[in-house]
C-alpha cells in the first residue's frame, strides 16, 4: 500500500511539473506578444508618413490589406507573366523572374508593408517580416506557375551555383516550421527533465514525456518522406512517388533488414549494400530513417527517369506505367547504389565537420557566429541547412545552429542598441520589434534589414559580438539534440548534453546580445533625423536667416520655408523659372491636382535644388521624379517634364543619394532643358505637396521669376 501511495505521489509531482512548465510557457508567449504590440504601437504612434498608416515591423492585421499588398508587389515585379518561380522563407518573398529588368526595385521598396528589397542569387527578394506567409498565400493564386511559368527563369540561365542554392532552399525551407516546432518541444522536455531531476524525479519513463518526445522526433524519423515531397516539388517530378520512396526507406522491416549486417540480402539477384561506420567515438550501422542525402539522390534520378519514360510511353498509359515502372526501378537502384552512396556522402560531410570542430572548435564557432548574418543577407545560409540536418541524422546532435544562435542574439542586441541610441521614433519602433523577433524566435531579417545593415555600424558590432559568442560556445563544446532555430523559446535544446556546455551556451548568447547592444550604443551610428524635430530646426534656421538678411527687401522672401506665422509655411521653388498655376499643366493627373496641390514651374535653369533643409526620400531610377520631406513635415513631389520617364535617365544627372539629409540650395538633380525639348518633351515641372490632406490650405503663388528664396506655395496648418 505504501509503495502504491509513493508511486501515485510521484506521478502527481510529474504532472505538476508539466502543468507548471506549460502554463509558464503560455504566459511568457502572451506577455511578450502584449509587450511587443504595446511597445511598438507606443513608439510609432503619430510618427508615420503623412497620409499613411504608422510604419513598423509589427502591425495589426486589419491595418494592411494583404490582397492589395500582394497585387501591388506582383504588379511591380513585372506581373504574373514575368514570374518564373515564387517561394518564401520566414520573412522574404523570393521571386525568380524571367526578366529582372522589368521589376521596379525602387517602387517595390516603397510599397506598404515592404521593409527592404534584396537582389541576390538570381532572386528578387522582398522582405516583408512576419506577414510574409499571408502575402504569399494571397499572391499564389495570382501567379500561374503550373502552366510553364517555371521554365526559362533568369536564374536558370545564369550562375549554376545560384540555381543550386535556390533548389536547396526550396527543398528545406518548407520543413523549417516543423523542425522549429520539434526543437521547441525538445527544449521544453529538456527543461521539464531538469526541473524534475532537481526534485529527485526521473520523468524519462513517464507516458507524457515519451509521447511528446515521439512527437518531436517525427519530422526527423520520417525525414526521407518529407524531403521526398519537397525535393520532388522543387525538381518538378511526381511528389507522391517520391514520398512513397521515402516511406519505403523508413519502413520498419526494411530498417531491420538493413541493420542486420551479417545477413546477405538480394533484390533481383543484386546484393543490397549494408555496413557500419565510425565517427569520433561512436559506431553506427546503416539506417535510412532520419537520413537526408539518400532520398535527395533518389528524387534527382527519379526526375530524369520520369522524363525518359514519358517520352517513350504513350500518353494514355502514362498514368499507370510511369509511376509503376519508376517504383520497380527506383527500389533496387536506391538500395544497391543511391542509398549507400548517400549514406557515405553524408558520413563524409559529418566526418569533415567533426574533424574541423576537433581541430579548432573556437575558430569554427567564431566564423559561423560572426558571418551567419552576412550569409542571411545573401541567402547563402540555406546552403548550410543540409549540413546541420545531416549532423543530427548521423550523430543525433548538432552545433551549427548553436553558433548561428550567437549571430541571432548579436543582431537582436545591435537592434536594441539602435533603439536605445536613436532619436528617430519610427526607427526606435522598427528596432524594438526587430529585437523581440531576433531574441524570441531567432528571426533576424527585421533586425538586419530594418536597422543594422541600414545604419552599417550596428551590423559591424553584431558581427564582432556574434564571433565572440560563437567562439565561447565552441570553447565549451556546445551541442543541441535538435535542429532548432535559436531563440529564448529553444534555449533548453542546448542543455541536453550536460550543464557545463549549457553554461557556455548561455554565456555565449549573453556576450553576443549584451555585447552588441553596448558596443552599438557607445560606437554610435549616423542617426536618421526624426520628422518630429523638424519644427524646432526650422525655427532655428528661420532665426539665423532673419538675422543675416535684415537688409534684404521684402519680408515675404525672408519667410521662405519657415513658420511665417504660427500656422503658416511658405515654400520656395526647387526650380529656377516662372511659377504658373498647376491647372495649366497639359496632363490631367497633375492639372486635376489628384496627386495634391502645388505649383508648376517653367524652368529657366536645369537644376532641382532643395527649397529648404530636407531629406531626399525618393529619387526615381530614371531621375525625372523625386520626393523630398522638409524638416517641418511638408512632403514634396517634384516631377521634371511630362512623360520624361521614357527618356530612361538620358539628359539627367544625380548629385545626391536617396536618404540623404541636405541643406537648402543643395543640388539634387540636373537636367539638360534643350536636349529634353529636342526629344519632344514638355519641360514644365510640377511641384506637388504630397500630404496636402494634412493641411487646412495649400495654395500656389504665381511668380514671373522664382527660386529657392522666392515663396511659390503657401501652406496653412
Q: How far apart are CA 102 and CA 222, in angstroms?
A: 42
Q: How far apart are CA 225 and CA 243, in angstroms?
A: 5
Residue 320, strand partner residues: none
CA nearest to 416, candidates 395, 441, 394, 433: 433
- DSSP state for residue 560 in the 8-state scheme: B
What does the pLDDT read at residue 541? 36
Residue 618, in any domain of the structure? yes
Q: How far apart are CA 489 and CA 507, in angstroms?
A: 17
Q: Mean pLDDT in each 10-residue stretch from start to end of the chain (717 residues)?
A: 44 53 54 48 38 36 70 90 80 84 87 81 79 85 60 47 69 77 77 78 84 87 92 90 94 87 87 70 69 90 93 88 93 91 79 76 88 74 69 75 89 92 83 82 76 86 94 90 73 83 92 94 81 40 38 40 61 91 80 81 93 88 87 88 83 88 90 90 91 84 86 86
DSSP, collapsed to helix, strand or coil, labels residue 347 as helix
Record the pTM.
Answer: 0.51
User: Same domain, yes or no, for 693 and 549?
Assistant: yes
User: Same domain, yes or no, for 541 and 688?
Assistant: yes
User: Same domain, yes or no, for 572 and 445?
Assistant: no
Residue 227, in any domain of the structure? no
29 a catalytic residue: no
What does the pLDDT read at residue 640? 92
What does the pLDDT read at residue 321? 92
**Marked catalytic residue, from 89, 237, 461, 561:** 89
The alpha helices in 380-399, defined as continuous H runs, are 385-395
CA nearest to 60, candidates 495, 477, 433, 605: 433
Q: How far apart are CA 316 and CA 62, in angstroms?
A: 50
At 127, give phi and psi (nearest 5°). Answer: -85, 120
In terms of residue numbers, what domain contains 622?
A: 534-716
User: Same domain, yes or no, for 547 and 517?
Assistant: no
Q: How far apart are CA 680 and CA 546, in angstroms?
A: 43
CA nearest to 414, candidates 441, 440, 380, 444: 444
Q: How far apart are CA 608 and CA 618, in angstroms?
A: 14
CATH number for the domain spanning 590: value is 2.70.70.10
Tell me how far apart the terminal alpha carbons of the chain are, to the nearest angstrom: 85
Contact present, 73 and 135 (Cβ < 8 Å): yes
User: Same domain, yes or no, for 421 and 401?
Assistant: yes
User: Same domain, yes or no, for 498 and 577?
Assistant: no
Count of structural domains within the chain: 3
Residue 519, in any domain of the structure? yes
Residue 192, in any domain of the structure? no
Other CB atoms within a 10 A radius of the CB of residue 705 amount to 11
- C-alpha separations of 144 from 21, 139, 518 in Å: 46, 10, 49
Burial class (CB in 10 A: 0-12, 13-18, 19+), 708: buried
Query: b/e per residue, 404-431, with b = 16+ CB within 10 A?
Result: bbbbbbbbbbbbbbbbebbebbbbbbbb
What does the pLDDT read at residue 538? 35
Q: List, edge to edge, every strand of the sheet that includes 697-700.
A: 563-565, 568-572, 711-716, 697-700
User: Same domain, yes or no, for 551 and 517?
Assistant: no
Contact present, 311 and 221 (Cβ < 8 Å): no
Residue 262, in any domain of the structure? no
Residue 615, strand partner residues: 629, 661
User: Same domain, yes or no, for 551 and 682?
Assistant: yes
Residue 290, in any domain of the structure? no
Contact present, 453 and 459 (Cβ < 8 Å): yes
Domain boundary among the residues 158, 182, 201 is at 158
Other CB atoms within a 10 A radius of the CB of residue 189 amount to 25
Residue 545, in any domain of the structure? yes
User: Same domain, yes or no, for 690 and 547?
Assistant: yes
What does the pLDDT read at residue 52? 35
- DSSP state for residue 143 in the 8-state scheme: S
pLDDT tens-digit map of 112-168:
888 778 887 678 888 887 678 889 888 988 886 654 444 444 444 445 666 676 777
Q: How far apart are CA 475 and CA 204, in angstroms?
A: 30
User: Same domain, yes or no, for 496 and 551?
Assistant: no
What does the pLDDT read at residue 272? 87
User: Same domain, yes or no, for 581 and 464?
Assistant: no
DSSP, collapsed to helix, strand or coil, labels residue 642 as coil
- DSSP state for residue 337 in the 8-state scheme: I
Query: Counting every residue, how long is the chain?
Result: 717
∠ CA 243-398-17, rounded to 5°: 95
pLDDT tens-digit map of 651-667:
899 988 888 888 888 99
DSSP of 229-285: HHHHHHHTS-HHHHHHHHHHHH-HHHHHHHH-TTS--EETTEEPP--EEEETTEEEE
CATH number for the domain spanning 67: value is 3.30.1360.60
DSSP, collapsed to helix, strand or coil, labels residue 10 as helix
Residue 410, in any domain of the structure? yes
Domain boundary among the residues 142, 158, 174 is at 158
Radius of gyration of the chain from Cα atoms?
A: 31
User: Same domain, yes or no, for 507 and 606?
Assistant: no
Domain boundary among the residues 105, 124, 158 is at 158
Contact present, 701 and 712 (Cβ < 8 Å): yes
What does the pLDDT read at residue 15? 55
pLDDT tens-digit map of 86-101:
887 656 788 888 888 8
Find all residues with CB under 8 Å of 674, minimum gap 6, and list them.
Answer: none
What does the pLDDT read at residue 155? 43
Contact present, 616 and 665 (Cβ < 8 Å): no
CA nearest to 288, candidates 333, 248, 327: 248
Which secondary-structure segment (H or E) carries 243? helix 239-250
Which secondary-structure segment (H or E) carries 607? strand 598-609
Amino acid at each position: 500500500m505504501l509503495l502504491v501511495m509513493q508511486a501515485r505521489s510521484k506521478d502527481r509531482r510529474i504532472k505538476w511539473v508539466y502543468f507548471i512548465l506549460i502554463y509558464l510557457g503560455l504566459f511568457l508567449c502572451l506577455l511578450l506578444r502584449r509587450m511587443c504590440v504595446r511597445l511598438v504601437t507606443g513608439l510609432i504612434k503619430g510618427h508615420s508618413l503623412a497620409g499613411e498608416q504608422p510604419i513598423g515591423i509589427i502591425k495589426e492585421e486589419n491595418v494592411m490589406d494583404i490582397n492589395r499588398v500582394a497585387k501591388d508587389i506582383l504588379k511591380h515585379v513585372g506581373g504574373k507573366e514575368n514570374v518564373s518561380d515564387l517561394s518564401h522563407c520566414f520573412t522574404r518573398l523570393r521571386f525568380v523572374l524571367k526578366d529582372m529588368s522589368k521589376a521596379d526595385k525602387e517602387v517595390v521598396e516603397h510599397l506598404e508593408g515592404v521593409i527592404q528589397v534584396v537582389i541576390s542569387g538570381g532572386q528578387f527578394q522582398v522582405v516583408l517580416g512576419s506577414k510574409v506567409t499571408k502575402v504569399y498565400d494571397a499572391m499564389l493564386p495570382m501567379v500561374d506557375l503550373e502552366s510553364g511559368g517555371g521554365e526559362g527563369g533568369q536564374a536558370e540561365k545564369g550562375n549554376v551555383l545560384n540555381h543550386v542554392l535556390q533548389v536547396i532552399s526550396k527543398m528545406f525551407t518548407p520543413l523549417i516550421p516543423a523542425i522549429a516546432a520539434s526543437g521547441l518541444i525538445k527544449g521544453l522536455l529538456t527543461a521539464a527533465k531538469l526541473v524534475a531531476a532537481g526534485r529527485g524525479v526521473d520523468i524519462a519513463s513517464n507516458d507524457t514525456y515519451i509521447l511528446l518526445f515521439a512527437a518531436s522526433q517525427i519530422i526527423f524519423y520520417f525525414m526521407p518522406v518529407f524531403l521526398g515531397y519537397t525535393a520532388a516539388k522543387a525538381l518538378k517530378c511526381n511528389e507522391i512517388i517520391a514520398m512513397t520512396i521515402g516511406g519505403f526507406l523508413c519502413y520498419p522491416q526494411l530498417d531491420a533488414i538493413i541493420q542486420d549486417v551479417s545477413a546477405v540480402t538480394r533484390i533481383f539477384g543484386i546484393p543490397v549494400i549494408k555496413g557500419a561506420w565510425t565517427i569520433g567515438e561512436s559506431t553506427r550501422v546503416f539506417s535510412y530513417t532520419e537520413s537526408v542525402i539518400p532520398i535527395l539522390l533518389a528524387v534527382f534520378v527519379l526526375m530524369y527517369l520520369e522524363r525518359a519514360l514519358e517520352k517513350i510511353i504513350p500518353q494514355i498509359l502514362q498514368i499507370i506505367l510511369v509511376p509503376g515502372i519508376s517504383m520497380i526501378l527506383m527500389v533496387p537502384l536506391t538500395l544497391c547504389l543511391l542509398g549507400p552512396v548517400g549514406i557515405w556522402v553524408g558520413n563524409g560531410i559529418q566526418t569533415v565537420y567533426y574533424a574541423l570542430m576537433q581541430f579548432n572548435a573556437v575558430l569554427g564557432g567564431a566564423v559561423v557566429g560572426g558571418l551567419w548574418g552576412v550569409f542571411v543577407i545573401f541567402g547563402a545560409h540555406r546552403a548550410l541547412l543540409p549540413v546541420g540536418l545531416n549532423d543530427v541524422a548521423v550523430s543525433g546532435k548538432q552545433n551549427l545552429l548553436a553558433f548561428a544562435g550567437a549571430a541571432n542574439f548579436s543582431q537582436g542586441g545591435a537592434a536594441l542598441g539602435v533603439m536605445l541610441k536613436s532619436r528617430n521614433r519610427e526607427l526606435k519602433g522598427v528596432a524594438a520589434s526587430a529585437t523581440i523577433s531576433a531574441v524570441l524566435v531567432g528571426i533576424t531579417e527585421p533586425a538586419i534589414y530594418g536597422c543594422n545593415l541600414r545604419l552599417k555600424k550596428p551590423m559591424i558590432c553584431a558581427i564582432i559580438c556574434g564571433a565572440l559568442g560563437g567562439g565561447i560556445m565552441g570553447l565549451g563544446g556546445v551541442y543541441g539534440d535538435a535542429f532548432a532555430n535559436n531563440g529564448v523559446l529553444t534555449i533548453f535544446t542546448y542543455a541536453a548534453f550536460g550543464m557545463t556546455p549549457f553554461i557556455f551556451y548561455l554565456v555565449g548568447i549573453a556576450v553576443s546580445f549584451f555585447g552588441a547592444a553596448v558596443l552599438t550604443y557607445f560606437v554610435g551610428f549616423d542617426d536618421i533625423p526624426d520628422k518630429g524635430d523638424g519644427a524646432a530646426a526650422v525655427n532655428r534656421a528661420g532665426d539665423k536667416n532673419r538675422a543675416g538678411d535684415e537688409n534684404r527687401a521684402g519680408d515675404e522672401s525672408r519667410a521662405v520655408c519657415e513658420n511665417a506665422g504660427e500656422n503658416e509655411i511658405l515654400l520656395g521653388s526647387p526650380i529656377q523659372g516662372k511659377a504658373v498655376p498647376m491647372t495649366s499643366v497639359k496632363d490631367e493627373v497633375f492639372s486635376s491636382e489628384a496627386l495634391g496641390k502645388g505649383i508648376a514651374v517653367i524652368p529657366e535653369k536645369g537644376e532641382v535644388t532643395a527649397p529648404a533643409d530636407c531629406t531626399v526620400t525618393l529619387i526615381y531610377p530614371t531621375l525625372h521624379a523625386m520626393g523630398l520631406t522638409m524638416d517641418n513635415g511638408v512632403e514634396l513631389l517634384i516631377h521634371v517634364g511630362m512623360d520624361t520617364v521614357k527618356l530612361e535617365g538620358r539628359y539627367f544627372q544625380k548629385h545626391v543619394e536617396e536618404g540623404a539629409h541636405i541643406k537648402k540650395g543643395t543640388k539634387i538633380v540636373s537636367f539638360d532643358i534643350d536636349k529634353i525639348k529636342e526629344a519632344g518633351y514638355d519641360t514644365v515641372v510640377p511641384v506637388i505637396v504630397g500630404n496636402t490632406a494634412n493641411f487646412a490650405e495649400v495654395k500656389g503663388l504665381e511668380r514671373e521669376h522664382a527660386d529657392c528664396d522666392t515663396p511659390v506655395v503657401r501652406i496653412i496648418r
